[in-house]
Amino acid sequence: MTTAGELFSHHEDTLRRALAAIRERTYWSAYDESLKAYGQDGPAGGRSAAEGKTAFDACLGKPFPLDQSATDGEVPGERSPYGFDLGVTYPHADVDGLLDAAQQAIPLWRDTGPDARTGVVLEILSRINARSHEVAQAVMHTSGQGYAMAFQAGGPHAQDRALEAVTYAYSEMTRQASEAEWEKPQGRRPPQRMLKRFTVVPRGVALVIGCNTFPTWNSYPGLFASLVTGNAVVVKPHPGAVLPLAITVAVARDVLRETGFSAELITLAAENPGEGLAKQLAVRPEVRLIDYTGSTAFGNWLSHNAHQAVVFTEMAGVNPVVVDSTDDYQGMLANLAFSLSLYSGQMCTTPQNLLVPREGITADGRHRSVDELAADLAAAVDGLLGDDARAVALLGAVVNETVLKRLENAPALGRTVLESRSIAHPEFPDAVVRTPTILLVDEQDHETYLQECFGPVSFMVTTDNTGDSIKLLRTSVQQHGAITAAVYSTDESVIRATEDAAIEAGVALSCNLTDAVYVNQSAAFSDFHATGANPAANSALTDAAYVASRFRIVQSRRHLPTAAPASD
């Protein structure tokens, strides 16, 4: 049996490099994002794309093999947004038994210490990384992401975010000595001496409530931060995206069992249709940590009702873009077109509100009216998505009926400057694929654009002037939240004013993106995802604040006898 200490030594170089990365904030990635890097001949090893597809196919149409205790039945599985039933069933847990088993597993895990826990968790991530193509298939067919995005965002990028959270947690857990001899001088009297021990103590049971669109990327930071700090973790996936997290839980349980710990430290809590299991679990006294990504309504419910737990939420936002001027008009249009189209806008980071002065903008040295800008942006989107094969790879599929209905109702909200259209998927004829729509509205139409319109719907909002746009950016983020914001301007004073507004509102800002970096993408170990400083999220992925409240330091101290004086 491999010991946890041996695993720490095996992965220590990765941890040390990650510790340097969170300080430096420069580019670094532990897990290769190239699809071709995996397989027998690839530098990353693990399963190839073909082997991952085979493993995914082997899961379909049968019960998922998860030998959890406290199982009282089966839960029906998901339907792929690409138009077919996966046919997977999952164990349904008895809540009392599940939480009791989780609590019983904690003491040994707690007492093994930060180094050993970190070694085990890094081994879990390493094994998940080796199965990235299998996870990508599961993410694709539960979230509707295109395969390349499902592989990168659901695989290596999610794993990097998990490692980042683990690294911050390790840093915080080991910031102080675990043991110290305390000696206080007493003048002519012998000094007071004590032995003090400081133990990292977990909160208890952590609940991770997964989302439909990014089941691994959004769940991994909280899941692994809670596990490495000594907590047991119950994973409650979205009913439409169970398989990626079931694979994750299965891998973690294998590693825990192999290293002498209870597999019940991590369990899957899949739910029956309409069961409302998240609400049941969230208010249980055993649950002391909750990580949630999803709607504002349920996030607020958690904050108001789960008083026994520390709750981390990422919810809705109205991501704004100030458009003032540019010296690379085609680059700006191409960048915005890609940002609006990627995964059909089903990202919490996708721009929603493009704030444009009513009198137009300056682009490449000449004036462009709002109508010209709208037409040119529409043309850029159409050009990007003109080839159906390229379009479906970029757009993916619409994840659920709620998003589709929102898109269908959008034309009533403003003047359509870009109409959404259906695209037939060449491989999955039953997939629902839609291009983005863009609507023109006035800044006075607050009820229209100052609520999140998740999916391929965005608004071009006309304002009195750029100063008014900057003010609207600040107030809309402060009142309604945002994960991202952006500005396009050739005027340094406009950029500085927008930076000031973003700082005051507490939102990450991107300036003049015209190349292959997009506002709705963030890099682990360099970019913080969300800030915790506006209503869209109460924490950032990932920083010290995100991990430090997942444990406490409990000390014990004992008196040491005064050292005997040296004899002559």
pLDDT at 462 over 60: yes
Strands 415-418 and 437-442: antiparallel
Strands 437-442 and 457-463: parallel
Is 330 in the same domain as 362? yes
Query: Model confidence over 131-149: pLDDT tens digits?
Result: 999 999 999 999 999 999 9
Identify whether 138 is part of a domain: no
Identify whether 13 is part of a domain: yes
pLDDT at 463 over 70: yes
**Position of tokens 């992401």?**
145
pLDDT at 563: 65
pLDDT at 301 over 90: yes
pLDDT at 1: 75
The residue among 564 and 247 whose pLDDT is bigger is 247
Structural domain count of the chain:
2
Is 291 in the same domain as 393? no
For the chain, how long is the longest CA-to-CA vector? 98
Query: Model confidence over 82-101: pLDDT tens digits?
Result: 999 999 999 999 999 999 99
Strand partners, 196: 180, 557
pLDDT band at 564 (very low <50, low <70, confident <90, very high): low
Nearest to 35 by CA among 150, 143, 139: 150
Identify the helix (H) or strand (E) that includes residue 500.
helix 492-505
Residue 1 has which token pair?
Answer: 């049996």
Q: Dihedrals φ, ψ of 519, to 5°?
A: -60, -30
Is 200 in the same domain as 345? no
Is there a contact between 455 and 344 (Cβ–Cβ < 8 Å)?
yes
Q: Residue 461 maps to which CATH number?
A: 3.40.309.10
pLDDT band at 562 (very low <50, low <70, confident <90, very high): confident
pLDDT at 251: 98
Is 286 in the same domain as 394? no
Nearest to 411 by CA among 382, 434, 391, 429: 434
pLDDT at 566: 53
Identify whether 503 is part of a domain: yes
Nearest to 83 by CA among 419, 454, 426, 390: 426
pLDDT at 485: 98
Q: Looking at this protein, which amino acid is placed at residue 3?
A: T
Which residues contact residue 336 at a Cβ distance below 8 angstroms, ignoring those fewer than 6 apart?
321, 351, 354, 377, 380
Residue 330 has which token pair?
Answer: 């085609």
Residue 483 has which token pair?
Answer: 């994960």
Is 172 in the same domain as 292? yes
pLDDT more than 90, % of the chain = 97
Is 434 in the same domain as 380? yes
Residue 93 CB: number of other CB atoms within 10 A?
A: 27
Is 376 in the same domain as 505? yes
Q: In 3-state terms, what secondary structure has residue 347?
A: coil
Is 355 in the same domain as 475? yes
Identify whether 181 is part of a domain: no
Which of 492, 511, 530 is a domain's end point?
Answer: 511
Identify whether 341 is part of a domain: yes
Query: Model confidence over 316-351: pLDDT tens digits?
Result: 899 999 999 999 999 999 999 999 999 999 999 999
Q: Which domain, by its residues, includes 221? A: 4-30+100-126+161-176+192-316+540-553
pLDDT at 316: 82
DSSP calls for 200-250: EEE-SEEEEE--SS-TTTTTHHHHHHHHHTT-EEEEE--TT--HHHHHHHH
pLDDT at 288 over 80: yes
Which residues contact residue 176 at a Cβ distance below 8 angstroms, ignoring those fewer than 6 apart?
198, 553
DSSP state of 558: E
Is 208 in the same domain as 343? no
Is there a contact between 395 and 423 (Cβ–Cβ < 8 Å)?
yes
Identify whether 150 is part of a domain: no
Is 390 in the same domain as 488? yes
Spatial distance between the Cα atoms of 496 and 118, rounded to a whole number of angstroms: 42
Is 212 in the same domain as 295? yes
Mean pLDDT over all residues of the chain?
A: 96
Is there a contact between 170 and 532 (Cβ–Cβ < 8 Å)?
no
Is 293 in the same domain as 442? no
Query: Model confidence over 358-385: pLDDT tens digits?
Result: 999 999 999 999 999 999 999 999 999 9
Q: Residue 297 maps to which CATH number?
A: 3.40.605.10
Residue 382 has which token pair?
Answer: 């159409």
Identify whether 46 is part of a domain: no
Is there a contact between 507 and 284 (Cβ–Cβ < 8 Å)?
no
Q: How many Cα atoms within 13 Å fall on the side-chain side of residue 502?
A: 23
pLDDT at 565: 55
Answer whether the bond into residue 542 is a cis peptide, omega within 30°. Answer: yes
